[in-house]
Structure 1
Amino acid sequence: MPIKIINSLLILFVVFMGFKQGWAMFSGKPEMLAMFSKWRFNSQSLILLGTITMLSALLILFPRTFVFGNFLMAITILLIICLQLSTKNLKGAVIELPFLLMNLLIIYLQYPLTKFK
């Protein structure tokens, strides 16, 4: 039972962070524009990435789309890690790693509100 509570809190944190970062990208916050402009992302592509990030966070909340939402969010995080590494920003890539690992851990622990078979 405590593992389900920890998993639920972890899911809520990941969803919150997904919406927070997705909204920052979608709304075109100056920090996001500055970070992604070095990888030649324009405002439209940043809006698209922000939308995908927020959609993936929303999909995590539902049992039927739980794995797909985590997978989609892991892909966006992996994209950012690869972009950070392409500009030799090891610190930026390492900062993203715990978020990627959280999505993988959540998939491993499974959706907390379903009954075991």
Structure 2
Amino acid sequence: MALFLKLLAGALLLVSAMLSARQGWAMLHGQPPALELLQRLGVSRPGQVALGAVVLLGAVLTLLPATFWVGGYASAACILLILSLQLTHRNLPGAVGELPFLLLALVVLYLGHPLARH
């Protein structure tokens, strides 16, 4: 059972880091879908770059056992920020669309890093 949980944690960690890195890269480089979303939410271009950098940094930090918690909390905080901006702009479908990503980040944090020593 412990091996299964470590494999599950590793798989979810890789999926989460990949999704975060892709979204962070899109924010940093102003790719159209990310740009449209953040502009609709009222985030300026410097804010988009800063948010993209934090998301990308969070993705990298979650991969390392020593910085797993910092990266995981940074990723979850960025998702929560976007979710709250969606709710502030009364975009309920957009906020609901962010929930699976927030839950994924929280499950990854709950399971912990698969290579961490206990």
The alignment's TM-score, normalised by the length of structure 2, stands at 0.93
| Cα distance in structure 2, aligned partners of 1:80 and 1:68 | 19
Specify the alignment match of 2:77 in structure 1: 75
Give, in angstroms, the shift of residue 78 of structure 1. Answer: 0.2
Deviations 1:52-108 (A, max 9, x none): 100000000111110110000000000000000011111111111111111111111
The runs of at least 4 aligned residues of structure 1 exceeding 6 Å deviation read none
Specify the alignment match of 2:28 in structure 1: 26
Structure 2, unaligned runs of 5 or more: none
| Cα distance in structure 2, aligned partners of 1:52 and 1:115 | 26
| Cα distance in structure 1, aligned partners of 2:110 and 2:38 | 31
Specify the alignment match of 2:95 in structure 1: 93
Residue 104 of structure 1 aligns with an amino acid whose one-letter code is L
Structure 1, unaligned runs of 5 or more: none
Specify the alignment match of 1:38 in structure 2: 40
Q: Which range is displaced more, 97-106 or 53-62?
A: 97-106
The alignment's TM-score, normalised by the length of structure 1, stands at 0.93
Aligned residues: 116
| Cα distance in structure 1, aligned partners of 2:41 and 2:4 | 42
Deviations 1:28-47 (A, max 9, x none): 01222221112322222111
- Percent identical across equivalent pairs? 39
Q: How much is the aligned-residue C-alpha RMSD, in angstroms?
A: 1.0
